[in-house]
Structure formats: structure tokens, C-alpha cells
Amino acid sequence: MPQYPLWDKIPQNRSESFKADIKEGKVPELPYFIVDQNQAKENIKAKIDNIKKERFQTSIITANYGNGKTNILKYLSLYYREHDEIQVLYYRADADNFDIIINLLRIIEDNYTNYIVESIQKLINEKFTYASLANNYNDNFGSIEQYTEKLFSSNDPAEIKNLFYLGTGRLNSKRYFDKQDLRPLRDYERREILVLFLNILSQTGKYIIFCIDEVEKIREKSKIRFSHFLTSLRELIDLSNKIKGHYLILAMTDSTDSNIIQITNEALYTRIYKHIIPINPITEKNDKITLINYLKEVFDSTKDTDTILKSLSKETDVTSNRLLIQRISDILFGKAEKKNLETALKDEALFELFTNTKKDLDINVEAFKNIHRKFFDPLEYYLESFNIKIEEFTSQLRYYYNYETDTLCYFIFNNDLSIIDSEVQKIINCTEYLNFDKTINFKNISIFVPTSMELNYSYLDKYPFFKNFKLIIIDIDDFEDLFTLLELYRQHFEHQIKLKPIIENYTNSSL
């Protein structure tokens, strides 16, 4: 259990992966400190302080990309990592599992199956009045009375587990219910089942902070799914006074439309608007000084804080907290300012040409459709123009080997972090193929990924394979933009001298 107040700096063991993530403004797996965001921290702390009270609580964190919503969730996860009563469960939103009720049931099943089985046994032995866990079967809870009584009718752990699985939906066919002499549960009755399971947890001293990140991915998949998600959230909030304790924090990027919840579901908005917590860019001088001093501590730097602050004041492209951390880190390590793409193009009078080319590629030749197959053609031209020796450019496998730098360059175009396991195996397969004849013995691996994937070095620490290589993660803000730059380079020989440094700037000179 933590011995220091919530939101204080957590004592840390700074690994090289942690430093690499911080240096690039990424969210490490273990964020030890949250700078600024005092209102958000106060609101969240107040709800956690009341987590054992009579009501289930909900917050929605909104932020533009790169301002630190995930940092807050990961900090909470770290802070309560060894807590006896409160557990933080961090998940990314699943666009294919867009009912929040069903989602929470699956999370409970993933983490608490054995605990709930043991808790039911304990409550049976204590002759606890279990009807109170289901609102004494009042209102719609009468529909789960038969199920609840069956759940508490046997002290056999195997029997209880099967009944628990009937509640979560893991066992859902009619024959399983017939075996227990129960009628099948309807989908809408899972709402009351969730209340029952959450109350079992709180009754036995376990309180959960559910952290569901990247909710915007549901809307990106389908507006209809997002609408259903919000409707299920409204139904959960309407049951909040029937649940003792617990806390749900949803986090979403609001760069597309800050009023998207109100536009999509006015009924939910009227219930939740007071509990929407915005995360804003760090703008105050004192907060910037705090961040600078923290980064100096991380990197053991003695550089003058005022000098760094003056350098920051001259820059206009720092539009998010992530970029702010990157830029402070660059100054600490003496790196030149990295221009954003629009500024770099305008400085060379190429922005209009770039915009028109991108539009033409999209509309007339559908270049961005299946971009993972088409991307490598202009990339190969770009590399060959410098006479860079590469090993078998394979668009299907999405990699090439650069003899000049002894680097395997691997590309991932999907921004879903859940695919990383399979992608790592493909990288391993590529290395085995390259090493087949023992003529290539490389030491470096560069992985090009969408910035929105938020892949970090700390996350890749769990794969022992990478410990044999120098690993570099190159975040690409938009592969369509990079594709357009490469096509411009191929189509306009007269601009190649100007485009080369722009492409290098955009890719951190990693191609």
C-alpha cells in the first residue's frame, strides 16, 4: 500500500526503456509523476476518496492527442499496484465489444473469477442476506431473483463457477441453463447481473477503478457502435445508486469534436456533463519549470532551467504536452528543433504542391487504399536514389534490410496496439530469414509505427528477443503524408534537394 499521497511523485527505478519513452514524450508503462492538471487530479482524487460509499461513480477524461490522458490512467495503475482493497484495471476500448456492461462483465471475469467464487462461499457460510446484493429484487432486479438464489444455493466451487459464467455470458447456450434448471438470461438482464457481481466484490472488501482508454476508437469503427456504447453507459449510470462503490474512468481523444457525447446522446450528456474532465496543454510558466526540473532529474542533467525555458518561449510548434516533453528533452540533449510538416513545407514553398498531390493520390488513384502494399514502391525509389544497398524489398512482409546501417526496417500501418504480439513474431521471422545464410549479422531494428498506436519501449521490454538488438521506434504521424512526400520526391526531380531534408525531418533520419 502506498506510503505517500496520491499524485505525489512515485519513487522510481529509471530503466533505459523508461528514459527512452520519456525522451520522446511517450507514455511509459510506469509513469511516476503527473505535471499540472490540478483540476483533473482533484476531481479524480475526490471520487477515489469516496470509492467505498454507496454509489458507483463515473468520469470521462477528454483531451486532444498527446496531452496526457493515458498518463493519468497509467499513474493510477502504478500507484495502486500493491493496494489491498483498491485495484486499477486498465484496458483499451474494444471496438468490437462496444457495450460497456458486457465489457465490464468480461473484465470482472478476467480478473476476479476465483475471488468471486471464494466470496460467494464465504457469504454462504456467514448466512449473509444475499438478496441485498440484488436490490432485494425490487424494480427490474426481480428478473434475476431465480439466478441469484441459484448462485448462492451451493457451496461447491465448480458449481458456483459455472453459474458465474452463466452470468458473465461465457456460458450462454440454452443447454447450460437447462442443466441448472434456469431460464436463459436476456441480454438486457446483464445490467442487473453486473450490479450483483460488483456488490459481491465491494461486500467482501474489493473496490475496482475501471480505466477504459481510447474510447474514440469505437466511434472511428462505427458511429452506430459509438451510439450503442453511450446508450449502455447511460443505462449503467442509471443503475449507479444500486451499486455500492467502484469507479469507472473513460478516456477519449476529443480532437474531432469536443461536443460529440452531447451530439450523439443528449440523455447521457445531461447525466455526465459535470463529470467530464478535460486535460489541457501545459501553459503556465511554473508548470513548465516543474516539468523541466523533473526531466533534468530523469536524465541527470545540470543544464540551466531558465535557459531551457527561454528556448521554449521562442517556439510555436509545441502544441501538445507530448511535444513539450519532446522539445525539452531535445534541448537537454542539444538536438535541433524539429519542424512540423506543414511548417517545413511552407518554408520551402511546397505546401500547396503537397496538398494537391495528396488529394490527387487519394481521389484519382486511390493510393491510400491498402497503403501497406503500395507504400514500398515510392520508398524503394527514394532509397535507390542515394544508392543505398538494401536486401530484398518485400512489401508483403513490410520490411527491408539496410546494409549501410546494418538495420532491419519494419513497418506497421495498423494503429491497434493489440496486434503487436503477432507483429513481433513476424519481425522474428524476418530476422531468421535474413540470418539463414549467415551473411547478414545485423544489430539494429527500426520499427516504423503510427504515432497514434502509442507503442513505447517499456511495452516492448516484455519481449526478450529485442534485448539482442538496438531497438528504435519511429513514430509516423501519418503514413499518408509520408507516402505523399515520397511520391513528390519521385514525381518532381526539380524539388528533390528540398524534399530530402523534409523527409529526413519527418522520419527522424531513420529510413
In tens, the pLDDT along 113-144 reads: 999 999 999 999 999 999 999 999 999 999 99
Give pLDDT, residue 3. 65
> Does 392 score more than 70 pLDDT?
no
Position 15 confidence tier, pLDDT thresholds 50, 70, 90 = confident
Give pLDDT, residue 2. 61
Is residue 229 within 8 Å of 33, Cβ to Cβ? no
Position 306 confidence tier, pLDDT thresholds 50, 70, 90 = very high
Cβ-Cβ contacts under 8 Å for 376 (sequence gap 6 or more): 393, 395, 398, 400
pLDDT in tens, 202-226: 999 999 999 999 999 899 889 999 9
Is residue 506 within 8 Å of 372, Cβ to Cβ? no
What residues are paired with 213 via a beta bridge?
92
Range among 223-232, 281-290, 338-347 with highest mean pLDDT value? 223-232
Give pLDDT, residue 440. 66
Q: What are the phi and psi torsion angles at 207 (to 5°)? A: -125, 135
Give pLDDT, residue 395. 67
Summary mean pLDDT of the chain? 89
Position 245 confidence tier, pLDDT thresholds 50, 70, 90 = very high
In the predicted model, what is the mean pLDDT of residues 175-192? Answer: 92
pLDDT in tens, 399-438: 888 888 888 899 999 988 889 999 999 998 888 877 765 5
Please state at what angle helix 351-363 crosses helix 479-491, rounded to 10 degrees: 100
Is residue 324 within 8 Å of 318, Cβ to Cβ? yes
How many whole angstroms separate alpha carbon 170 and alpha carbon 129? 27
HSE-CB for 310 with a 13 A CA cutoff:
5
> Does 449 score more than 70 pLDDT?
yes
Q: What are the phi and psi torsion angles at 143 (to 5°)? A: -70, -15
Give pLDDT, residue 436. 60
Give pLDDT, residue 203. 96
Is residue 447 within 8 Å of 455, Cβ to Cβ? yes
Model pTM score: 0.84
Give pLDDT, residue 257. 55
Cα–Cα nearest to 50, from 242, 249, 245: 245
In the predicted model, what is the mean pLDDT of residues 179-203? Answer: 94
For the chain, percent of residues with pLDDT exceeding 70: 95
Sign of CA dihedral 160, 164, 165, 166: positive
Cell readout for 227 is 451510439
